[in-house]
Structure 1
Amino acid sequence: MDTFALILTVLVALGFAYTNGFHDSANAIATSVSTRALTPRAALAMAAVMNLLGAFLGSGVAKTVSEGLIQTPEGSKGMGILFAALLGAITWNMITWYFGLPSSSSHALFGGMVGAALAGGTTVYWSGVLDKIVAPMFLSPLIGLVAGYLVMTAILWIFRRANPHRAKRGFRIAQTVSAAGMALGHGLQDAQKTMGVVVMALVIADVEDYGDPIPTWVKLAAALMLSLGTYAGGWRIMRTLGRKIIELDPPQGFAAETTGASIMFATAYLFKAPISTTHVITSAIMGVGATKRVNAVRWGVAKNIVIGWFITMPAAAAVAACVFWLIQLVFSA
């Protein structure tokens, strides 16, 4: 039974990685597709490959997820907590995907972990949740907004005397590089979150210890599922990011992607903080758009997205708690 529970939980974790991929694929490529720098299928293929490569660039975020948020639960009850956390995250991903809202898969996972832990009586490391999750949830969009504005302002000043049509062609080519960097950063951040959950499952099952290196098969499985999900594409969310917030041109798309990728790499390597790629790229698009004129950004759409950000963690936590109680009810009957 313990082996079956482990296998089932690992499979669900990989299922989460898949939903993360198609839910968040828009983060890396929506701007490139909307500006016609890349065709949709070419963009998705490139993003899938870069996600795969990015997954092998570090492990700091995985360590934060597996050790820094909740106390590792034990036994079959512990595996049930982790299983419920993942189902809560997947459920919220599917709901927000259906409505085309670019909410954070990362915060859905963290909310699921906290909700399931509370329902199961496991200790939540609130200082870790505050420092590694809540604080970056507020800071990363603010930094993305300001940095996007500044990067776009710098581009406008540097190319102020350039031929507009020639400059746009050049930035359309440059977007191939910036979109690849965004996808690489997405793989670095989001594949590690699944790795962290799988490592926690292996520790609960007494197969691995936290001091051990992350097994290669865990890295490869998480990376492949994220890449497969990315290639499947999240067209509903892509339309929201690429068109509904603001109509982007190639220089704006390049500025937003460069800003987002830079923030993701900096937070992964300097702070080992699992930030939301959704929050970063969405706020960067808003900052870039505001350089055109403030009312160029469709702030009504932006408001709905921000509201979605704030309800993601509690909503996923509530679903995860209900799943855990249902599991307990079934197995105690």
Structure 2
Amino acid sequence: MVVQDIINHLHDLAPLAYAEDFDNVGLLVGDKNQSITGVLVTLDTLEAVVDEAIEKGCNLIVSFHPIIFKGLKKLTGKSYVERVVIKAIQHKISIFAIHTALDNAFQGVNSIICDQLNLKNKQILMPQKGTIKKLTTYVPKANANDLRQSLFKAGAGNIGNYDNCSFNAEGIGTYKGNKDSNPVKGERGTLQEEEEIQLSLTFQKHLESKVLKTLFEAHPYEEVAFEITTLENTNQHIGMGMIGELDQAQSEQDFLQFVKDKMKASSVRHSRKLNKPVKKVAVLGGSGGFAIGHAKASGADIFITADLKYHDFFSAENDIVVADIGHYESEQFTKKFLVDYLSKKISNFAIILSNTNTNPVKYL
């Protein structure tokens, strides 16, 4: 097994195409073709984590947060980032980061929080735009079904909770090949009229290369006419944050205490209580102050996130309770989730949960 094999499984869970533009995800250190001796999963890649990987014989670290976020102009060991990279290279340890790709995945960070808080009826809070595309092509009527089925197998034809979706319109296509052409139907130099199907299918944007590869392999024509457009449809399965509901409403005090216990938070900072029952809950792991408006617009009674600034609490405006449980605390269950996921995918290979507590914040 090589590094790329693990990356492929992680990409199935959280395609890197949906990571935020500001982020630095993917293979940050190492060779994708390197054989793996062990995989260590962590929230952050610190020197202590690299030491743990060395001790446990792991030469691949799967990290939630990227150790390299901004560009490195030199590697002299003066910063903790440089020391981690140097040590990883010296010991031939690869580092892969998944970060906001997993934040935006439906079965990702925010789903984990919802499950920890026993929330039901989960929905994306802030759907990511531009993630659904449409392929339109033209194929001889006799070949339309075979091409359609091949594209379905490649992942095209899925939208929301539906699959095998396509639009088919009949018409007459015309073409005339020059002396260098090799037409499948008709002869070069002769105008050919062919009964064709205009075939349109939607697909997730991370599948574009796979869909096009299938199109070119399965289409009978020498020259394939096609177009790809980006749809405005809301993607129900990709985006930041999540909304869920409690089975039974709780008081604000009881729910905040419940959150503190379930998320193992040392403290919970929150805005003024509104003396309203809590039923609908919005969550966003990590720094989520930017999503307060979306949480209010969703009709949530409370918003659970981290890294709120002083003025963020004013933004609640007595419409919602906002609560800060801590950055590490909001994401701490992610690494076990990744271990469980990879262990199911690779049952005959040890995926190790890091013991290193990487939380840089301490409390009195």
Instruction: Give TM-score, length-normalised by structure 1.
Output: 0.26
Q: Which has the higher contact order (CA 8 A, sep 6+)?
A: 1
Instruction: Give TM-score, length-normalised by structure 2.
Output: 0.24
- Which one has a larger percent helix, Structure 1 or Structure 2? 1
